[in-house]
Chains A and B, each alone.
Chain A
Amino acid sequence: MSFNLKDYYQDLSKGDVLLAYKGSITSELINDVLEGVEKKLDDVHEESKTRKKIYNVLVESMQNLFHHIEEYHEGISEDLDPKFGVVVIEKENGLYKVTTGNFVNSTKIKFLKEKIDKINSLTKDELKDMYKFILNHQKLSAKGGGGLGLVDIARKTGNKLEYAFYNYNNNYYFFNLTIRI
């Protein structure tokens, strides 16, 4: 069965949701999400350590979307906003869960999969070394991305990155990334 965006989003938005969004991932949207979530975490008096980790994860995961999502997706029948992505934040079994979703060109799947598998295979100390190596040796892209976002998320949460690629059509997969904090 091929991927159905509507069902996917509905499924995601079922739990104890703090925020669910689908649409253009813009700089303003990132501001709004951060502000909204910060306020909600403040309202429930979440401890500052957890709050900061969630905030960091949100910044990195949304800015990853911002930097990497294609403006337009050719051959996708859905009526998508430009730079379309999904962000959902919920609480599940006592942990916070940040999920992002976006369409990814088939040609990029292998690279992305290998990168995440590599990160997931590393210990805490190895992640630190990897972070420092990339920090010190790789240049920022023209868009300002540093290739450090996922490493940073894995380091700060101490949890594995959970991901799935759902086939959409010949050109696109839908990439789901779940981060638990």
Chain B
Amino acid sequence: MEPINIEGTPKTPSVKFDKESGVMEIKGRSIPENSIEFYKPLVDWLEDYAKSPLKRTQVDVQLEYFNTSSSKCILDVFKKLEAIHKAKNEVIINWYYEEDDEDMLEAGEDYESIIRVPFKMIEIVD
């Protein structure tokens, strides 16, 4: 499987998905008008990865902003992870939020309550 390595833009996050390390990273801003276009390849990649995942998969999500269009696509990403977790593999989602950004913390907690995967909320202190 080819790793995914996408540079960030003002409207889309940087993405690193690597099967070798089992570490996936989504970082930056996710506010495209049409988020499906951006996220579909990521969801497809994870679907492939889910066929023979590593014993431990770590996903780091560090978003400064995301729009509601992205929020559904991010949920789709998490649902793929949930399937991997359900198949008795270790999965951890690290949800980063900036100090005082209660909205971003709450957004992470929303996902945590929907998706059955362990989340870790990590505050970034300047």
Query: What residues of chain A lie closer than 8 Å to B101, measured between beta carbons?
Result: 48-49, 52
Interface of B is mostly: helix
State A145–B35 Cα separation when bound (angstroms): 9
Query: What residues of chain B lie closer than 8 Å to A139, measured between beta carbons?
Result: 72
Partner of B98, one of A48, A67, A132, A140: A48
Report whether B35 and A144 are in contact in the complex, using a CB–CB cutoff of 8 Å: yes
Report whether A140 and B103 are in contact in the complex, using a CB–CB cutoff of 8 Å: no
State A48–B104 Cα separation when bound (angstroms): 13
Given A60-B68, A63-B67, A135-B71, residue A27 in contact with residue B103 (CB < 8 A) = no
Closest to A27 in B: B33
Query: Which interface class (under 10, 10 to 19, 20 to 34, 35 or more) fits B?
Result: 20 to 34
Which among A27, A135, A145, A152 has the highest number of chain B CB atoms within 10 Å?
Answer: A135
Query: What residues of chain B lie closer than 8 Å to A55, measured between beta carbons?
Result: 65
Query: What residues of chain B lie closer than 8 Å to A56, measured between beta carbons?
Result: 65, 67, 103
Given A128-B110, A135-B114, residue A148 in contact with residue B71 (CB < 8 A) = yes
Q: Write the B27-41 contact mask toward A (1 if CB under 8 angstroms, else 0).
A: 000011111110000
Query: What residues of chain B lie closer than 8 Å to A145, measured between beta carbons?
Result: 69
Report whether A144 and B33 are in contact in the complex, using a CB–CB cutoff of 8 Å: yes
A131 at the interface (CB under 8 A from B): yes
State A67–B34 Cα separation when bound (angstroms): 9
Which among A27, A35, A52, A149 has the highest number of chain B CB atoms within 10 Å?
Answer: A52
Chain A stretch 107-160: residues in CB contact (< 8 A) with chain B: 128, 131-132, 135-136, 138-140, 143-146, 148-149, 151-152, 156
A6 to chain B, nearest CB (A): 29
Partner of B33, one of A48, A66, A135: A66
B74 to chain A, nearest CB (A): 9
A93 at the interface (CB under 8 A from B): no
B113 at the interface (CB under 8 A from A): yes
Given A136-B114, A144-B36, residue A149 in contact with residue B68 (CB < 8 A) = yes
State A49–B72 Cα separation when bound (angstroms): 24
Interface residues of B (CB under 8 A from A): 10-11, 31-37, 65, 67-69, 71-73, 75, 98, 100-103, 106, 110, 113-114
